Amino acid sequence: MALIVQKFGGTSVGSVERIEQVAEKVRKFREKGDDIVVVVSAMSGETNRLIDLARQISEQPVARELDVMVSTGEQVTIALLAMALIKRGVPAVSYTGNQVRILTDSAFTKARILHIDAQKIQGDLKAGRVVVVAGFQGVDEQGNITTLGRGGSDTTGVALAAALKADECQIYTDVDGVYTTDPRVVAKAQRLDKITFEEMLEMASLGSKVLQIRAVEFAGKYSVPLRVLHSFQEGPGTLITLDEEESMEQPIISGIAFNRDEAKLTIRGVPDTPGVAFKILGPISAANVEVDMIVQNVAHDNTTDFTFTVHRNDYNNALNVLQGIASEMGAREVIGDTNIAKVSIVGVGMRSHAGVASRMFEALAKENINIQMISTSEIKVSVVIEEKYLELAVRALHTAFELDAPAGKGE
Ligand code: ASP
Ligand code: MG
């Protein structure tokens, strides 16, 4: 008999009918003999509606009170789901974060979980009850209600699974798994049966928004097997695990991630002396701008060009700071470009394969796509290209790394 934590997101509990469907699903699971703990989000749109109410009172609502309010969204869905289960003859009980005692720090609206009391839930499971827990919320030492940040119910699910030593944490959502890339860009994208935590983090931070990144980090840290599944379609979903398969058939690349949210800045003709990178990036970081890729060219004539990328929202801010630095340093000029995109190939199989990067560059060259910047890590190679070639690049790479679904299987 297994212990499974199942998390259902906002769209999966977005109406009474859907909540009934979820209850039906949980009932069937339980018939198979598994112990089930369910974590739910608020009904879709509810958290936004609540935040909007608060904004009508004040542009910057007091964080403590905001948490008291937004936590109500989940309190509604846990009760409705428990009712729907009981109506079906399934013994069930619902708990808020405070009732379980999901202890967090006091960082309202972005609290971190410190400890979960497992006892009460374990007692209910022993007594044959399905336990329904409110996602996204906890309580601090002083008894204040806290919330975990948007999308935080994923983290609640994973943290509960870790605390209960569950066999699996299943995240039910409106997609049937994690794909090799965005199916809206590549029709032949395929659902992955398996992906490692490391790969998932790269894919998630690079733009596939299936799971809250914090939840993936948490699951990796505590080795909680995580599975992404469709709420209302049958299917195995995608399992996110620690182990890297050693099999020879394992593809070198698991997926292709991309991101249109970056902008590029170059400061040209800076003196090639020690401390230059610090002089440039120090003020950028002091302005609270995060830098992603960095390239410094080989110097000639004792000067060099220094290029980096930032989030597009930070572009103007970074440009201002950089112009200040440039005149101080006597640099030649500052140029910027917001029409860029980053494309990354991601895969743990890369570690043992030379030539992955060159295969990537060859595929891009064949399409006449110019590479502006390159960066690599153990499990990824990223390039910056002109934004208008993004879709072409992703498609070409998807084909080059043999990720396309066999004919007839694609959507
Ligand atoms: N209801 C919260 C939100 O909308 C938490 C969640 O859905 O995970 O962000
Ligand atoms: Mg979500």
- Asked whether 110 lines ligand 1 (CB < 6 A), one says no
Q: Is 90 helix (H, G, I), strand (E, B) or coil?
A: coil
Which of the listed residues 78, 110, 150 should we mutate to test ligand 1's pocket, taking the one with most ligand atoms within 8 A of CB?
Answer: 150
How crowded is the C-beta side of 238, counted as CA atoms within 13 Å?
22
CA of 150 to the centre of ligand 1 (A): 5
CA of 398 to the centre of ligand 2 (A): 27
Q: Are 364 and 315 in contact (CB under 8 A)?
A: no
pTM comes to 0.86
Question: What pLDDT, on a 0 to 100 scale, did the predictor assign at position 411?
Answer: 45
- Residues in the chain where the model's pLDDT stays below 50: 410-411
CA of 110 to the centre of ligand 2 (A): 15
Question: For residue 50, which phi and psi values (nearest 5 degrees)?
Answer: -65, -45
Question: What pLDDT, on a 0 to 100 scale, did the predictor assign at position 244?
Answer: 65
Give pLDDT tens digits for 222-241. 999 999 999 999 999 999 98
Nearest atom, ligand 1, residue 41 CA? 7
Beta bridge partners of 311: 262
- Asked whether 97 lines ligand 1 (CB < 6 A), one says no
Which of the listed residues 47, 96, 146, 169 should we mutate to test ligand 1's pocket, taking the one with most ligand atoms within 8 A of CB?
Answer: 47
CA of 154 to the centre of ligand 2 (A): 7
Q: For residues 197 and 118, what is the distance between their CA atoms, to the nearest angstrom?
A: 25
CA of 66 to the centre of ligand 1 (A): 14
- Asked whether 27 lines ligand 1 (CB < 6 A), one says no
Nearest atom, ligand 1, residue 212 CA? 8
Q: How far out from the chain centre does Cα 43 lie?
A: 20
CB within 8 Å of 377: residues ≥ 6 apart = none
Nearest atom, ligand 1, residue 10 CA? 7
Nearest atom, ligand 1, residue 73 CA? 1
CB within 8 Å of 339: residues ≥ 6 apart = 386, 387, 388
Q: Is 369 helix (H, G, I), strand (E, B) or coil?
A: coil
CA of 10 to the centre of ligand 1 (A): 7
Nearest atom, ligand 1, residue 9 CA? 7
Nearest atom, ligand 1, residue 136 CA? 5
Q: For residues 188 and 191, what is the distance between their CA atoms, to the nearest angstrom?
A: 10
Name the H helices within 127-242: 153-164, 197-205, 213-221
Q: Is the dihedral of CA 167, 169, 172, 176 positive or negative?
A: negative
Q: Are 3 and 37 in contact (CB under 8 A)?
A: yes
What is the helix (H) or strand (E) element at residue 258, kind and residue range? strand 255-259
Question: What pLDDT, on a 0 to 100 scale, did the predictor assign at position 410?
Answer: 44
**Ligand closest in space to the Cα of 13:** 1
CB within 8 Å of 177: residues ≥ 6 apart = 191, 192, 228, 229, 230, 235, 236, 237, 238
**Residue identifier of the C-alpha nearest atom 6 of ligand 1:** 151
Q: For residues 266 and 294, what is the distance between their CA atoms, to the nearest angstrom?
A: 10
CA of 178 to the centre of ligand 2 (A): 14
**Residue identifier of the C-alpha nearest atom 8 of ligand 1:** 151
**Ligand closest in space to the Cα of 110:** 1
Q: Residues whose CB is under 5 A from ligand 2 (ion)? A: 9, 151
Question: What pLDDT, on a 0 to 100 scale, did the predictor assign at position 306?
Answer: 93
- Give me the domains of the chain, ranges plus CATH numbers: 3-173 (3.40.1160.10)
- Asked whether 47 lines ligand 1 (CB < 6 A), one says yes
Question: What pLDDT, on a 0 to 100 scale, did the predictor assign at position 208?
Answer: 53
Question: What pLDDT, on a 0 to 100 scale, did the predictor assign at position 207?
Answer: 52
Binding residues for substrate: 47, 74
Q: For residues 8 and 43, what is the distance between their CA atoms, to the nearest angstrom?
A: 10
Which residue type is seen at 243?
D
